[in-house]
Structure formats: structure tokens, C-alpha cells
Amino acid sequence: TVMFQQKAHIAWNQAIAPAIFKIGLTCRHGFARTKPGQFVMLRISEGLEPLLRRPFSVHKLIRKDNRIDGIEVLYKMVGKGTGLLATRKPGETLDVLGPLGSSFVLPPSARKVFIVAGGIGVAPMVFLAQHLVESGLSPSNCEVFLGGRTCEELLCTDDFAALDLPVHTTTDDGSAGDQCLVTHPVDIALVDRRPDVVFACGPLQMLDCVTGIAAAHGVICQVSIETAMACGMGACLGCAVPSRDTPGRYYHACLDGPVFDAGSIWLSGGPDSDRDSLSTGVQPLG
């Protein structure tokens, strides 16, 4: 996919839940061939604060008159950068670099898919689900598992329901869905209705657990991770992820990822097991 840097106009920037926002960006070119799992780097301010761009998964493509008119980003307000982004108004412009990175890939023989998302990790999964259905996958063969700490963190359930996808929800506090970790119903369903592939995005511990469950059942698993990316193009080497295949080798989340085959990287427990800095979802820098 060809990468573009351009000024995008803000079409909307709305709170949809506490500290959760959707921002629509109209871009003249470059996103028609964007694939699910890819991301953009946004320069949030024209000034020096914050200095670095922030990475955000593409949440949806904006369509107008049978063409791709831009992208939508789902983000959580967690720090200075996303706090500033939440104040940006429709009509203003943002500098956008993208699309960047790798994407989720449906194996040619796959007919049944599980999508697993925790919290803001749902951001790239709506685009993925739309793409799978548009590609001809039967909605009944694409099950979605959404988890959050509370009901307010269960995001985008309506988007999946609009695609007629079966959705299983869990919350830590029992305020919606089943009171358990999202990995629990995934584990049960993998035995009961074995999928051909599992796609996952969310907190590191969740991804590690999903990866283990899929591996135990011999099911292909692809995970979307995003470390603290500063450049998005492999220049700063700040988003290194340890390889499971080759000891001492590191992948770079911005170039080799953010989507990886789960068996190719160490999420935890590897040679550098104290990797609390490895975060996932859409915008780890705040």
C-alpha cells in the first residue's frame, strides 16, 4: 500500500462513551486500498507539544458517492496528546501520514473466524469485520467476542450487530454480558465451534491468553499490537518486538506489524519477559 502525507479535514469529533471519541477525517487520496489492521500517524498539534505523531488504527473507511472519502479513528483520551485531540473541532485540519503497517490476512481456506477484542482494542476490528463480510464471509461464521472492565468499555456492539454478526460480551464487573474475562468464552467456543483463524486486539495480557488458547487447539492466530511508535516508518527503532523464531532478533511494530502471526513474536515470558512497555490497542503514547 502506498503511503501518503496530507492535510485531512476533521468532519466530526464526538464523544461516544466516557473518554472515548470517534474522529472522522476526510482525505483526498490514499485510503482506497487500506487494509484492516493498518494505522495512521496523526500530528495532533502544529506546535511542539506534543512533538511526536501518535499512531491510531483505522477504525472505518468513510464512503461518499461510491468512493473512499476518508477514515474514521476511534480513540481513548489517556494523556496530553489524545486530550488535545479531543478538543479539535470540525473544519480544522490534521496532518495524516498513512496508511502504514501490516494487515490482518484471511487464510484462503478459512471459512470460520473468531474476532476477539478488549476495550479500545476493538478499534481496528470493526473495519476488519466489515471487510470480511464484504468479501463474502457468512456473518454466521464470524463470531465476535468483546470484553471490557465495565459496560462503558464495551464498545461498538452496534456496529457488529448491524453486520448480523453473533456477539458475545463480557465485563469484569458484570455490568453487561457475562462477568468474566473475554478469554473464557473464547476458550469454550474454540472447543465447541472450532474456527479456522482467530483475530485479536486488546491488552497485552488478553492477547497472551488468546494466543495460548489458540495454540493449544492448533488454531491460527493473528494479533494486532502497537508499541510506543514515534515515527511509524522504522527509522527510530523505538517499537522493537522480540522474535520468537530467531533469538536476539527484533521485529518493528510499525514496519513488520502492527499485525503479527501470534507464533512469531514474544508477547510475554520471552527472553525479555519484563516488557511492561509493550502496549496494545490504538494509541499507547497518550
Pick the closest to residue 219 from 187, 248, 247 (CA basis).
187
Split at pLDDT 50, 70, 90, the class of 238 is confident
Which residues contact residue 199 at a Cβ distance below 8 angstroms, ignoring those fewer than 6 apart? 104, 113, 114, 115, 116, 125, 128, 221, 222, 223, 224
Q: Over the range 46-55, which residues count as b (16 or more CB within 10 Å of their CB) and which as e? A: eeeebebbbb
* Dihedral pair phi/psi, residue 179, rounded to 5°: -90, 90
pLDDT in the model for residue 273: 47
Peptide bond into 242 cis (omega under 30): no
Q: Tens of pLDDT along 87-133?
A: 999 999 999 999 999 999 999 999 999 999 999 999 999 999 999 99
Question: Could you tell me where the DSSP H helices lie in the chain?
Answer: 80-85, 123-134, 157-162, 183-192, 204-216
Number of helices (H), then strands (E), in the chain: 5, 16
Q: How confident is the model at residue 228 (pLDDT cuts 50, 70, 90)?
A: low
Q: How far is CA 160 from CA 8, 122, 169, 184, in A?
A: 27, 11, 12, 20
- Predicted pLDDT at 66: 87
Contact 40, 99 (CB under 8 A): yes
Provide the phi-psi class of 42: left if phi over 0, else alpha when psi is between -120 and 50, else beta. Answer: beta
Q: Which of 57-61, 158-162, 243-247, 280-284 has the lowest mean pLDDT?
A: 280-284
pLDDT tens string 35-79: 999 999 999 877 666 667 889 999 999 999 889 999 999 999 998
Q: What is the pLDDT of residue 153?
A: 93
Residue 229's DSSP bridge partners are none
Question: CA-CA distance, 229 to 66, in Å (whole number)?
Answer: 33
pTM of the model: 0.92
pLDDT digits (tens, 9 = 90+) for 7-30: 999 999 999 999 999 999 999 788
Instruction: Please name the residues in contact with 89: beta carbons below 8 A apart, sequence gap of 6 or more.
Output: 10, 13
Question: What are 136-181's pLDDT values in tens digits?
Answer: 999 999 999 999 999 999 999 999 999 999 999 999 999 999 999 9
CA 47 and chain centroid, separation? 28
Q: What is the pLDDT of residue 277?
A: 36
Per DSSP, the three-state class of 237 is coil
Q: Is the dihedral of CA 141, 40, 183, 187 positive or negative?
A: positive
Distance between CA atoms of residues 82 and 285, nearest Å: 9
What angle, rounded to 10 degrees, do the helices at 183-192 and 204-216 form? Answer: 20
- The C-alpha cell 468483546 sits at 146
pLDDT grade for 227, boundaries at 50, 70 and 90? low
Contacts within 8 Å (CB) and 24+ apart, 179-184: 181/147, 181/206, 181/209, 182/116, 182/117, 182/118, 182/145, 182/146, 182/147, 182/206, 183/116, 183/147, 183/209, 183/210, 183/213
